[in-house]
Homo-oligomer: A and B are copies of this chain.
Amino acid sequence: IFSTAEATVVLRENGKMREKSLTMDTLNPQVKAVEYAVRGPIVTKAGDIERGLQQGQKHPFTEVIKANIGDSHAMGQKPITFLRQVVALCSFPELLDSSSFPEDAKQRARRILQGCGGQSLGSYSASQGVDCIRQDIAVYIEQRDKGVPADWDNIYLTTGASDGIVSILKMLVSGQGRSRSGVMIPIPQYPLYSAAISEMEAVQINYYLDEDNCWALDINELHRAYQAAKEHCHPRVICIINPGNPTGQVQSKKCIEEVLHFAYEENLFVMSDEVYQDNVYSPDCQFHSFKKVLYEMGPEYFNTVELASFHSTSKGYSGECGFRGGYMEVLNLDLEVKAQLVKLLSVRLCPPVSGQAAMDVIVNPPLPHEPSYLQFHKEKRAVLGALAEKAQMTEQILNTVPGIKCNPVQGAMYAFPRIFIPPRACVSLLQSLGISPDMMYCLRLLEETGICLVPGSGFGQREGTYHFRMTILPTTEKLKVLLEKLRDFHIKFLKEYASLEEPKR
């Protein structure tokens, strides 16, 4: 018996025309299985429409508003001046002689360059990152966590947070059949997780966040998911996203304690995705790092639970996605395994050094006595203040729309409202087209209003419920327009599909 691919080779040996070597039939099935909705078909279509508009095509709108991805600068947010000054100084050190750069930015740049081979941003760094940047990160974490010790030997610079998450997962995934590694992820989740799990042929274990309780993580649901999964795989790791993406909740200290206790009991590796740690808006909420909570649970926990936490330059108040900067701190890693992790990272040589420099500024901002202090904090406050205002506005306006219910956007950069689509309409009309009702909803929204969102199915949701994810990143004025257009669209959509609910006899 020949596979399709082998048949192709046989044909060729018989002298026929060359066939393609790489086709959908011969493509790695794990690649095929990967899905990543944040840049999926809706976004592709939005790009097509945008190009069409530029070429003069007619649409019922004049502009595509992209609220599909947490890309702050693309939505008009201005870079933090100090950060860019440091990166420019590192990139072109001749500027260190220029009087138009403040002394604190120069001091940061000199320090970073001294950590680089040949004092150049163009050298490879060590695989774990530039030493002095790792040291700055450790100091930052200690301050953030009010004195909980941080060892820079546990810090690894990464290419955005995604790279670190994928590297840690790669270490943990193995086995076949019932001993295949299981990865517990929240539903809804950020689809990097499901994509990586597919690609690595691990088992995705869903634990559902509690939508009726502001997307809180319920420890009973963790137990349920774990026990069910144990029947068919080997759960190895639990992933938490806090503040939540796409759900925007901020976890309570008690909830984090419960998760850590659970991980301790069940010998799970903990991955805490904390890239939105600076994005907390709700006055009742506070960011608690998994590490600090683990520390406060006592040495039996702090010295044993394996915890990797992730941060990034892309979110927070800096929004520097393009620099692909990030770091992870990994606690209690077995020493031999640590050497294996460094080896794995060394194959891709090093994370981008300019991204490392950007990360350094975020963990080592101007101090009160330094010349850039006031401007830095003014800019930081302006960004975070506007986000807090937009978080509240988004929730408020969405909750005035009949058939939309939106939890408070306590943190992160997204709302993930539930949309009520008449159930019979879903079954009768939409499933016959083979696409999910929320995908249909988002497609029509895009075509009729120019608003680009991501359907909830791209993140996962309880069966029979529908959502979308939208960022709160457009400017306040544009976001208001977006929300009003969305309201009008939703009312019209509901009316249209509600009529389908009448039995046709």
Contacts and interface: CB of A to CB of B under 8 A. Distances in A.
A291 to B, nearest CB: 17
Contact of A121 (B17, B304, B323): B323
Given A171-B22, A351-B324, A346 B160 contact: no
Nearest to A194: B347
Contacts of A72: 122
A389 interface: no
How many monomers of this chain does the complex have? 2
Given A12-B267, A124-B321, A347-B162, A6 B69 contact: no
B159 A8 contact: no
A413 interface: no
Nearest to A116: B322
Contacts of A23: 334, 336-337
B266 A9 contact: yes
Interface stretch (A90-98, A282-290, A366-374, A476-484): A90-98
Contact of A21 (B9, B162, B306, B350): B306
A370 to B, nearest CB: 18
Contacts of A114: none
Contacts of A159: 159, 324, 348, 352
Given A36-B346, A162-B347, A22 B269 contact: yes
Contacts of A18: 264, 267, 300, 304-305
A355 B350 CA distance: 13
A313 to B, nearest CB: 8
A311 interface: no
B124 A71 contact: yes
A31 B163 contact: no
Contacts of A57: none
Interface stretch (A80-88, A136-144, A250-258, A425-433): A80-88
A334 B20 contact: yes
A375 interface: no
A31 B344 contact: yes
Interface stretch (A173-181, A217-225, A402-410, A455-463): A173-181
B22 A306 contact: yes
Contacts of A438: none
B234 A322 contact: no
Contacts of A120: 73-74, 79, 322
A148 interface: no
Sorting the interface of chain A by its residue count into under 10, 10 to 19, 20 to 34 or 35 or more gives 35 or more
A173 to B, nearest CB: 5
A196 B347 contact: yes
A171 B28 contact: yes
A273 to B, nearest CB: 15
A363 interface: no
18 contacts: A19-B267, A23-B336, A28-B172, A28-B173, A28-B174, A36-B346, A39-B127, A73-B120, A74-B124, A87-B354, A95-B95, A121-B322, A160-B349, A170-B199, A321-B349, A322-B350, A323-B352, A324-B349
Interface of A: 3, 5-6, 8-9, 12, 17-24, 26-32, 34-36, 38-39, 47, 69, 71-77, 79, 84-85, 87-88, 91-92, 95, 98, 100, 116-118, 120-127, 159-160, 162-163, 166, 170-175, 179, 192, 195-196, 199, 234, 236-237, 264-269, 300, 304-306, 318-324, 332-334, 336-337, 340, 343-344, 346-355
Given A160-B349, A162-B349, 13 more contacts: A3-B175, A5-B234, A9-B266, A21-B172, A22-B337, A26-B174, A28-B170, A31-B344, A39-B343, A95-B95, A122-B321, A123-B321, A192-B347
